[in-house]
Structure 1
Amino acid sequence: MAQADTTTDDPTSELSGFKRDLLFVIADVGPAKGLKIKDEMEAYYASEVNHGRLYPNLDALVESGLVSKGQRDRRTNEYELTVRARQVLETRREWEAERFDGGDA
């Protein structure tokens, strides 16, 4: 049995699917306020994403250094990917491409 490579610098392997999806959405629409990100996530999931799920996950991504959080104005925060997050997403896309053969099974 092949042993998994544990030397990877890919923190997305430790993220939930929801957090990975947040990163991809922010890459697409960012910098963006939380409500824009929420709307995009709801469109993808075709169901409501409540604030109690969205903002703690965004905060965790900020704490991990993958997302930066700034203030658009006194009431509105804005989220943007860090350079590290862009590198992480590119690594993830390469990893997925190596494993997905386009359905030629």
Structure 2
Amino acid sequence: MSSPTERNATSLADLSATHRDLLWVLSQTAPNDIRPLHHVLTNYYTDGIDQTRICDILDELIEHDLVTTQTHDTTEYRLTESARRALSARQAWQGGTRNAAGRHE
């Protein structure tokens, strides 16, 4: 049986590929504002991606406590510790390894 903390943890498996891609980009470039994020994802997706869609996804990731914002001259987005753990667990799962608790993510 899993603990309440494990049950409440956000799994990237519950998110769309675009959500996961945006988290991955943030993990490589954070903190960042919307322009560089839009540029990277537009170059990645062959059909491009609308900047409004990226803003919507960021809002959803904030609701899931995976991204936080900080406003200076622009709004910067950065990963939360929960997002870092979720990305690490996903990488372990993709690599076929087990997490520290000894179970597959």
TM-score, normalised to structure 2, is 0.79
Post-superposition offset of 1:59: 0.5
2:87 equivalent in structure 1? 89
Gaps of 5+ in 2: 1-5, 98-105
Post-superposition offset of 1:46: 3.3
Partner-residue secondary structure (3-state), 1:98: coil
1:22-33 matches, within 5 Å, as 22-33=22-33
Alignment equivalent of 1:79, drawn from 77, 90, 93: 77
Runs of 4+ in 1 over 4 A off after TM superposition: 7-10
Whether contact under 8 Å (2:10, 2:64) holds in the other structure is: no
Post-superposition offset of 1:10: 5.0
Whether contact under 8 Å (1:10, 1:92) holds in the other structure is: no
Number of aligned positions between the proteins: 91
Question: Who wins on radius of gyration, i.e. which is larger?
Answer: 1
Over the residues paired in the alignment, what is the CA RMSD in angstroms? 1.7
Q: What is the CA–CA distance in structure 2 between the aligned matches of 1:92 and 1:71, rounded to whole Å?
A: 29
2:45 equivalent in structure 1? 45
Post-superposition offset of 1:43: 1.5
Partner-residue secondary structure (3-state), 2:78: strand
2:87 corresponds to 1:69: no
Whether contact under 8 Å (1:26, 1:32) holds in the other structure is: yes
Partner-residue secondary structure (3-state), 1:55: helix
Post-superposition offset of 1:48: 2.3
1:16 equivalent in structure 2? 16
Gaps of 5+ in 1: 1-6, 100-105
